[in-house]
A = this chain, B = another copy of it.
């Protein structure tokens, strides 16, 4: 794995390299996605089924688009009981964590009759996109459904592309059923996003669409933003390890590769103050790559977006960590909580040598749907917050309004909004 000195040049190259992976760079697909969405909006089911035949090579129609109870039973028959048990344990932890994110309506009252507040209401119906094929991850099903359920969403509609045989991956179905999806439809791609955004004869319109997908799904979500809400636009996965000389090079190397294996656009970066660690990690990476089943993907990903950077000071390490704003950030230093306090930008922060990134992917409880590609500067992990909305509450008495009515009228007049002023004035005209 390449080792570089962290300096102005390597820093600049790295940051530019990483941004090449952005879903913002695929404008050339926008027109195609727009056509799919327009046709789904116009023709509904007919368009959705035609695209499913074209892209997924599956014959789906109104009679088989929704997954039946019999299909879910069949999926349970195909999945090991022990795996169902593991899903149950993971769900327990994920629910516990997300329960702590619950929001409550509040109000503040004054004895003059003033009541101000913020009312929390769950979204009524949401769509969860789940990729099919080689990226069919049951853990993602859990991570997208649980926060919606904890928020109190009544209808959680899952969509996922079928295989050529018109079937859905059994692990996906079992995970969806365990997590509590209320309906599952066998559609994928931009056409599934269109169906959820506009509604079709078979598939209900939702309030928000969440879940990862390929570039077509990402662009479709962005295009329907405003008709519905969406979660953050997901890019390729990434890990950044911040380490000093106390880190175990074997653990660091293994953790870097856990993200590099995702796909060739994934990024794995170590930034360290120890050149000795840098060399040992690089050697250990080479050993692992030879041993691991996904060695080929890993090697491509490392060649493209893998870096070991050696910095002079921990302050420099922290500075570049904040510039990169990584999806996953591991801190393996002698005083990791101290370093954590200085991290502004990261999706999830893993602290200490036993907080390995895959612990967060599957089991610890925090959500694994995280901001990627530098968007941790402004986006957050998927959470219960994504599935609620707020309404302001304003109650006033005549007594309370009387104290300020002239100020409000003057403010409205200053903005030349005379009907605004009038609506206050009429209450005090006698």
Q: How far is the CB of A218 from chain B (nearest CB, A)?
A: 9
**Which residues of the other chain, B, contact A348 by a CB distance below 8 angstroms?**
391-394
Is A54 an interface position by the 8 A CB rule? Answer: no
Q: Which of A91-133 touch B at CB < 8 Å?
A: 97, 100-101, 106, 108, 113-116, 118-119, 121, 123-124
* A84–B392 CA distance with the chains assembled, in angstroms: 26
Is A422 an interface position by the 8 A CB rule? Answer: yes
**Which residues of the other chain, B, contact A350 by a CB distance below 8 angstroms?**
394-395
A393 nearest in chain B by CB position = B349
Interface band, chain A: 35 or more
Stretch in A5-13, A69-77, A185-193, A226-234 with 4+ CB within 8 Å of B:
A226-234
**Which residues of the other chain, B, contact A171 by a CB distance below 8 angstroms?**
414-415
Q: Are B258 and A420 in contact (CB under 8 A)?
A: yes
When all copies of this chain in the complex are counted, the total is 2
Instruction: Contacts A225-B222, A407-B86, A410-B86 given; indicate if A361 touches B420 (C-beta within 8 A).
Output: yes
Q: Are B378 and A228 in contact (CB under 8 A)?
A: yes
**Which residues of the other chain, B, contact A294 by a CB distance below 8 angstroms?**
417-419
Is A50 an interface position by the 8 A CB rule? Answer: no
Q: Which of A413-429 touch B at CB < 8 Å?
A: 414-424, 426-427
Stretch in A58-66, A159-167, A307-315, A352-360 with 4+ CB within 8 Å of B:
A352-360
A262 nearest in chain B by CB position = B417
Is A396 an interface position by the 8 A CB rule? Answer: yes
Q: Are B138 and A415 in contact (CB under 8 A)?
A: yes
A390 nearest in chain B by CB position = B380
**Which residues of the other chain, B, contact A227 by a CB distance below 8 angstroms?**
24
**Which residues of the other chain, B, contact A340 by a CB distance below 8 angstroms?**
119, 393
A291 nearest in chain B by CB position = B422
* A377–B126 CA distance with the chains assembled, in angstroms: 11
Q: Are A358 and B412 in contact (CB under 8 A)?
A: yes
Stretch in A176-184, A274-282, A362-370 with 4+ CB within 8 Å of B:
A362-370
Instruction: Contacts A86-B411, A395-B352 given; indicate if A378 touches B383 (C-beta within 8 A).
Output: no
**Which residues of the other chain, B, contact A155 by a CB distance below 8 angstroms?**
none
**Which residues of the other chain, B, contact A376 by a CB distance below 8 angstroms?**
389, 391
Is A21 an interface position by the 8 A CB rule? Answer: no
* A39–B13 CA distance with the chains assembled, in angstroms: 24
Is A15 an interface position by the 8 A CB rule? Answer: no
A298 nearest in chain B by CB position = B419
Instruction: Contacts A121-B344, A344-B124 given; indicate if A396 touches B250 (C-beta within 8 A).
Output: no
Is A68 an interface position by the 8 A CB rule? Answer: no
* A118–B381 CA distance with the chains assembled, in angstroms: 10
Instruction: Contacts A380-B389, A415-B137, A415-B138 given; indicate if A250 touches B420 (C-beta within 8 A).
Output: no
**Which residues of the other chain, B, contact A359 by a CB distance below 8 angstroms?**
394, 396, 401, 404, 408, 424
Is A29 an interface position by the 8 A CB rule? Answer: no
Q: Would you mind naming 7 contact pairs between A and B with Cβ atoms under 8 Å apart?
A: A97-B116, A121-B345, A261-B418, A292-B422, A354-B397, A357-B423, A358-B412
Top 4 nearest A-B pairs (CB, nearest first) are: A366-B392, A229-B378, A261-B419, A254-B423
Q: Using A100-B106, A298-B419 as known contacts, list a sample of 11 further A-B pairs with CB atoms less than 8 Å apart, ordered by residue number in A.
A: A24-B227, A83-B411, A86-B407, A139-B411, A288-B419, A288-B422, A352-B395, A361-B420, A363-B407, A364-B396, A366-B392
